[in-house]
Amino acid sequence: MATPPTIIPAFQATLGSSSHILAIAGAGLSAASGIPTFRGHGGMWRKYDAMSLATPEGFHENPSLVWQFYHYRRETALKARFNAAHAAIASFSLPWIRHTLAPGSTFTLITQNVDGLSARALETAEASMTIPESSTEDQPRILEMHGRLFDVLCSSGSCQHVEYNATSPICEGLDGTEEMVSGGTLDPDIPVESLPRCSKCGSLARPGVVWFGEMPQHLDTIDQLVKRADLCIVIGTSSTVYPAAGYARKIKRNGGKVAVFNLERSEGDEAADYLFLGPCEDTLPRALG
């Protein structure tokens, strides 16, 4: 189903009449930056079993395998640059830009991605212009609900130390393993002593991402924002992981509108009011332009 040319003016008319806009993003938003998605061709879950790597049990079972997987993703994200879709969302997050298309509206990006690229795009957008003092907003511009690759937590359960750590490599023991991991092989025998340690107590550290079975971050804020949203923009996600996958349906049920930006058809997009099929790095800058 091609995207009809009339879709952009129609979508922008809806932007103009929306008061509280939410964007829900997934791995497809970062695909053009060279970050592999989970389920598509070349997707990470194709090569690795998500449920054995992205779970607390998997980490407990074999921290060496899990750390190689996340070290590979850290190194990939460190080399990546945000793309035109990240930049379009970042500009739209700035009220004095957004209000030309959506006067008086509020906006938050809720991202499932842990690569930090949306935050980098937002920092660049904010730094590139002087922020008019009138723009003080009480709503967050971005919520990283599945955590961040560069947050490193103590896994001891008692120390609770968290730090932002973007060093490459994070530790000697993982250095150079990214080549193997990208080929789909993991070395189960990196000794646990050579894995990242908590800088406070020396216990084994873990990546600061939300694993399956763990509580996503910022849920209370997200639930409030979903309740009052009247437009949901769904970008580059298969909409298969909850609770993120349920937000668009909730907003639709509350009488709001839904726009989906995806390379191909995705779960629940038949309920969308606007369906932009194609690479979001092309479609999104045009729709929010």
- For residues 129-148, which are near ligand BV8 according to CB under 6 A? 146
Among 201, 212, 227, 253, binds Zn ion (CB under 5 A): 201
Backbone angles phi, psi at 34, to 5 degrees: 90, 10
CA 153 to chain centre: 19
Distance between terminal CA atoms of the chain?
23
Query: According to CB under 6 A, which one of 1, 183, 215, 255 is a site residue for ligand BV8?
Result: 215
Annotated binding site: 26-45, 70, 73, 112-115, 154, 159, 198, 201, 236-238, 262-264, 280
Alpha helices in 153-204 (DSSP H): 177-182
Query: Which CB, 80 or 159, lies closer to Zn ion?
Result: 159
Of 103, 134, 125, residue with least CA distance to 21: 103
Residue 210 near which of Zn ion, ligand BV8, none (CB within 5-8 Å, type-dependent)? ligand BV8
Distance (Å, rounded) from C-alpha 250 to C-alpha 253?
5
Task: List the one residue out of 274, 281, 282, 288 whose CA is nearest residue 234.
Answer: 274
Q: What angle do CA 147, 212, 88 make, to 5 degrees?
A: 40
201 binds, among Zn ion, ligand BV8, none (CB under 5 to 8 A by kind): Zn ion
The reply on whether position 241 binds ligand BV8 by CB under 6 A is yes
- Quick one: what does residue 263 bind among ligand BV8, Zn ion, none, with the CB cut-off 5 to 8 Å set by partner type? ligand BV8
Contacts of 153-157 with CB under 8 Å at 24 or more apart are: 153/198, 153/205, 153/206, 153/207, 153/208, 154/198, 154/200, 154/201, 154/203, 154/205, 154/206, 155/59, 155/63, 155/198, 155/203, 155/204, 155/205, 155/206, 156/198, 156/201, 156/203, 156/204
146 a catalytic residue: yes
Is there binding between residue 197 and Zn ion (CB under 5 A)? no
Residue choice 39, 47, 161, 252 for contact with Zn ion (CB under 5 A): 161
Residue closest to ligand BV8 when measured from CB atoms: 28
- In this chain, which stretch among 10-18, 110-118, 157-165, 171-179 interacts with Zn ion, using CB under 5 A? 157-165
Annotation: binding site for Zn(2+)? 154, 159, 198, 201
Q: How far is the CB of 171 from Zn ion (least distance, A)?
A: 15
Q: Whose CA is closest to 285, among 108, 89, 97, 7?
A: 89
Residue among 200 and 249 whose Cβ is closer to Zn ion: 200
Q: How many CB atoms lie within 10 A of CB 240?
A: 13
Q: Which residues bind ligand BV8 (CB under 6 A)?
A: 26-28, 31-32, 37-40, 43, 54, 112, 114, 146, 209-216, 219, 236-238, 240-244, 261-264, 266, 279-281
Residues annotated as catalytic (active site), given as ranges: 146
Q: Which residues bind Zn ion (CB under 5 A)?
A: 154, 156, 159, 161, 198, 200-201, 203
